[in-house]
Structure 1
Amino acid sequence: MTRKAYSFIRTFVPEPARELCVDRHYLLCASTGALRLEAQGQAWLLPPARAALIAAGRPIRVSIPQPVTTASVLFDTGFTPAPPAPLAVFDLSPLARALLAECGTWGESDVPLTAYAETLFSALAAVTWQLSEQPSPVVVPAGRSPELRRALQLTEERLGGEVRFEDVAHEVGLAPRSLARRFEDEIGMPWRAVLRRMRVMRAIEELAAGDTPVTKVAFTVGYASLSAFNAAFRELTGRTPTEYRSSFRP
């Protein structure tokens, strides 16, 4: 009999996407580095400031773009209620991060949790279950059709340089008007809005990877000016890149 809840701390090297499905409610976090998560036709990035709450039995795809250390928690389905949604990605509050760190003492074991430990895990669940009701807006749609998924892949590959919608349409074998219609029909937003989200998402990945100056991050993800980058970043996350990076630090 394993514990009702336990912390799961591991370090991983970069690896491509793989399927993941567990029989417990899963609070998936990175303490260093970043994870990429895809499910329900959408994709997220999980730097240390964010977490994913995944209901038991919910399949997801996880990839590791850079070395990462996870600090996650698995909850027995009899210990906590089902999460408010099958999958939610959200920003961690200082209280949630403190509780997560404190729960790190209790890994997988047949030894029952102490009353103190049960209280901590229960508090962590209560806090993160509530946070999951306000999911993060930094999400990129994954697309359904092969043409749109290819268009998204090409767009992401070219974030650091000049990326033109007409070129992407040509390479996937569709007229620009037809591809634009695919974006609206399949994911409900135009290509340029997706491009902006991808750039912010890549910027978060760069900010989480180390101490690269914000100006260099802006140029790396395709912005010609720092002011335009800051405006786009704040519009989507509600914070400046510098403020967002500071949230990664304990």
Structure 2
Amino acid sequence: MTREAFAFTRSFGPTGPTELVVDRHYLLCASTGALRLEAEGQRWLLPPARAALLRAGRPATIAIPQPAKTASVLFHVDFVPPPQQHLTVFDLDPLARALASECGTWQEAEEPLPPYARAIFAALAAVTWRLAERPSPVVMPAGRSAEVRTALQLTEERLGDEMRFEEVAAAVGLVPRSLARRFEAEVGMTWRATLRRMRVLRAVELLAADDAPITTIAHEVGYGSLSAFNAAFRELTAVTPSGYRATFTR
């Protein structure tokens, strides 16, 4: 009999998109760095202090733009109930972090877990399944059509530049009005709002990567004003950049 649940940690260098499918319910946390996840046309950013809960047997694509360290817990499908959603990203509270740390003692093995370990893993599942009912707002925009996905890629590649929507539309072969309608239909927001969100999400990755000054990060993602950067960041995350970075180490 294989273990009801087990944990492991792993370090990664930058990697391109890789499909992941596991036969257990998968709790994935980024200890350092940030991961990008995509499933069923939706995309998420997973910085430290957040977790992703992936239902067994359901595919997700994972990319690692910068070096990262992850901590994972896998639950046998007969040990815990299935998560409500295919993939959910949510904030970890101190209890969940403490339980995840304690679970790290038990790696993959053939023998069943001892009673204490079973109780700890069950408690972690109960806490994180509940936290998953309140998803994190750190969601990345995604599109369905080739034109919108290309427009998103071009926008992401030039976050620190002065971009014009007309230039993006021309690059994907559409008139601005047509691309604007595509954004509203596929992304659910305007291109300008998408640009603002992508800049904040890139800032989240940079905040997780190292201790670079917040002013430097603001300029790198295209903000000439620190106050404008702080306002955009707070609008999406409800905290300031410095407050968000502090959650990584609490």
* TM-score bucket of the superposed structures, by smaller chain: over 0.9
**Bigger shift: 83-92 or 167-176?**
83-92
Partners in 2 of 1:176 and 1:93 — Cα distance?
43
Distance across 1 between alignment mates of 2:156 and 2:114: 47
1:204 aligns with 2:204: yes
Work out whether residues 14 and 67 of structure 1, in 8 Å CA contact, stay in contact via their aligned partners in 2: yes
Distance 2:240 2:68 in 1: 24
**Which residue number corresponds to residue 131 of structure 2?**
131
Instruction: Tell me the equivalent position of 1:57.
Output: 57
| Residue correspondence of structure 1 range 27-106 to structure 2 within 5 A | 27-106=27-106
Aligned amino acid, residue 119 of structure 1 = A
TM-score (norm 2): 0.98
Q: d(CA) in 1 for partners of 2:229 and 2:85?
A: 32
Listed one character per residue, the Cα deviations across residues 82-104 of structure 1 (whole Å, up to 9, x for unaligned) are 11212111111111111111111
* Per-residue deviation, 1:186: 1.3
Q: What amino acid is aligned across from residue 234 of structure 2 in structure 1? A: R
- Partner residue in 2 for 1:225: 225
Contact 1:138 1:197 in 2 (8 A): no
> Aligned pairs, how many?
250
Conserved? CA contact 2:49–2:248, under 8 Å: yes
What root-mean-square deviation, in Å, do the aligned CA atoms of Structure 1 and Structure 2 show?
A: 0.9
CA contact (8 A) 2:142 2:186 kept: no
For 2:120 and 2:163, locate their aligned partners in 1 and report how far apart those are by CA, in whole Å: 48
Q: Check the 8 A contact 1:41/1:141 in 2, yes or no.
A: no
Could you list the runs of 4 or more consecutive aligned residues of structure 1 that deviate by over 4 angstroms after TM superposition?
none
Spell out, residue by residue over 1:11-48, the C-alpha distance to the aligned partner (whole angstroms, 9 max, x if none). 11111001111111000111111111111212111111
On the 8 A contact 2:45/2:140 being kept in 1, the answer is no
Counterpart residue identity of residue 64, structure 2: I
- 1:8 to partner: Cα distance: 2.0
Q: TM-score, normalised by structure 1?
A: 0.98
Give 5+ residue unaligned stretches, structure 1.
Answer: none
For residues 12 and 124 of structure 1, what CA distance do their matches in structure 2 show? 25
In structure 2, the partner of 1:238 is 238
What does residue 176 of structure 1 align with?
176
